[in-house]
Amino acid sequence: MTDVGNTKSALERIREAGLKGGWEERHALLWRHAEDIRQYLYSFGIVGEGSSFIPAYVNDALARFFNTIDLMAGSTTGRVLEIGANPYLFTVLLKKFADFDLTLTNFFHKSVYEKEISQGRQVVRSDAFDEEYVFDYTSLNVELSDYPFEPSSFDKILFCEVLEHVIVNPLQIVPKLREILKPGGELIITTPNAVRLINFAHMLAGKNFFDRYHSDNGVYGRHNREFTLSEVVKLVEGEGFRIKLAKTLDRYNYDLIDMYVDSYDEQVKLPWKGAELRAKLEAIGGNMEDRGDNIYVVAEKL
């Protein structure tokens, strides 16, 4: 049972730490209260839509959420564009922990060539915490649409867990994002790492590490192309950005928990721990750098 009062108090302490510029304190509080935040996010549902996926989504994304919040250390105000905001759980944390002026986008069309711009609204609610958020968003194809935003109008752009879903031509996205970012503004990219250690485990087990096709979410409901850290860095450096941070991090400590084959049908346990896999990779002369689950890049517009 979630202790609502204690969780609300923890969320407020995290917010206060950020507002006063206590970035290290905020980082420590996030991880100290990870279970409180997990239960808080579990409690939300998208009004009028199925929300049974939320616990699994939160378990998969929580560490990434914290790492991304750390990337935003340095400010709690300004105009921020979050691309691909649905299902809004990270958006909720941004609302709780900062005072950003948020603009949101989504894309729900089945056609990868749809360019139409439209407006939408979704509501997320937590009955346990008696909280409701109404999120207005712009529907646009991040690859092909003409963005309806003024040049140099955003202080930060969050391009998180979107790059792996695009399919037509990701090379045309970064110049468009640069156009609407202010000089000195930051583009924050997170995306799964194509050469993460667990993919090596999949290959050792004779399993396919590529994402599966499935009918419910269409072509954008899968990872169409994953990237390495060096590829993402090259992608943004070539468009007039200065790299401020570039690294990979795991979502879990694989020396303590089990690895599983990603599957829409069933979970298949892999027989290795992280240390064993690193030893195997090193023994065959493998490159040991940048094997974390997710890529994190912060790039400044020059």
Quick: pLDDT tens for 164-173.
Answer: 999 888 889 9
Q: State the Cα–Cα distance between residues 228 and 193, nearest whole angstrom.
A: 5
Q: State the Cα–Cα distance between residues 155 and 93, nearest whole angstrom.
A: 18
- Angle between helical axes of 23-32 and 4-19 (0-180°, round to 10): 160
Residue 147 tokens read as 């963005």
- pLDDT at residue 268, rounded to an integer: 86
Residue 54 lies in a domain: no
Percentage of the residues of the chain whose pLDDT score is greater than 70: 96
Residue 87 lies in a domain: yes
Return the residue matching tokens 């409901």: 221
Q: Kindly give the pairing relationship between strand 181-192 and strand 294-301.
A: antiparallel
* pLDDT tens, position by position, 30-54: 999 999 999 999 999 999 988 899 9
Instruction: Say which residues have a Cβ less than 8 Å from residue 10's Cβ, sequence separation at least 6.
Output: 29, 33, 36, 37
Residue 163 lies in a domain: yes
- pLDDT at residue 216, rounded to an integer: 66
- pLDDT at residue 169, rounded to an integer: 87
- pLDDT at residue 112, rounded to an integer: 87
CA distances from 140 to 54, 146, 148 (A): 24, 8, 9
Instruction: Point out which residues pair with 245 in neighbouring strands.
Output: 298
Residue 52 lies in a domain: no
Residue 58 lies in a domain: no
Percentage of the residues of the chain whose pLDDT score is greater than 90: 86
- Rounded average pLDDT over 145-156: 97
Is 60 exceeded by the pLDDT of residue 264? no
Give residue 148's domain range.
75-301
Residue 18 lies in a domain: no
Instruction: Point out which residues pair with 118 in neighbouring strands.
Output: 139
- Angle between helical axes of 34-42 and 4-19 (0-180°, round to 10): 110
Residue 68 lies in a domain: no
Domain total for the chain? 1
Which of 75-84, 201-210, 247-256 bottoms out in mean pLDDT, i.e. has the lowest? 201-210
Q: What is the CATH number of the domain that holds 137?
A: 3.40.50.150
Residue 10 lies in a domain: no
Q: Grade residue 85 by pLDDT with cuts at 50, 70 and 90.
A: very high
Question: Residue 234's CB: how many other CB atoms inside 10 A?
Answer: 13
Write a three-state SS string for the chain.
CCCHHHHHHHHHHHHHHHHCCCHHHHHHHHHHCHHHHHHHHHCEEECCCCCCCHHHHHHHHHHHHHHHHHHCCCCCCCEEEEECCCCCHHHHHHHHHCCCEEEEEECCCCCCCCCCCEEEEEEEEECCCCEEEEEEEEECCCCCCCCCCCCCCEEEEEEECCHHHCCCCHHHHHHHHHHHEEEEEEEEEEEEECCCHHHHHHHHCCCCCCCCCCCCCCHHHCCCCCECHHHHHHHHHCCCEEEEEEEEECCCCCCCCCCEECCCCCCEECCCCHHHHHHHHHHCCCCCCCCCCEEEEEEEEC
Mean pLDDT of the residues in the chain: 94
Q: Grade residue 132 by pLDDT with cuts at 50, 70 and 90.
A: very high
| Dihedral, 129, 65, 93, 102 alpha carbons, nearest 10 | -150
* pLDDT tens, position by position, 192-207: 999 999 999 999 999 8
Q: Grade residue 265 by pLDDT with cuts at 50, 70 and 90.
A: low
* pLDDT tens, position by position, 152-192: 999 999 999 999 999 888 889 999 999 999 999 999 999 99
Q: Grade residue 210 by pLDDT with cuts at 50, 70 and 90.
A: confident
* pLDDT tens, position by position, 102-124: 999 999 888 889 999 999 999 99
Residue 176 tokens read as 């468009």
- pLDDT at residue 161, rounded to an integer: 97
Residue 69 tokens read as 């919040």
Q: State the Cα–Cα distance between residues 4 and 130, nearest whole angstrom.
A: 10
CA distances from 233 to 72, 113, 289 (A): 18, 27, 15
- pLDDT at residue 263, rounded to an integer: 61
Task: Please count the residues of the chain.
Answer: 302
* pLDDT tens, position by position, 228-239: 999 999 999 999
Q: State the Cα–Cα distance between residues 133 and 161, nearest whole angstrom.
A: 22
Is 90 exceeded by the pLDDT of residue 77? yes
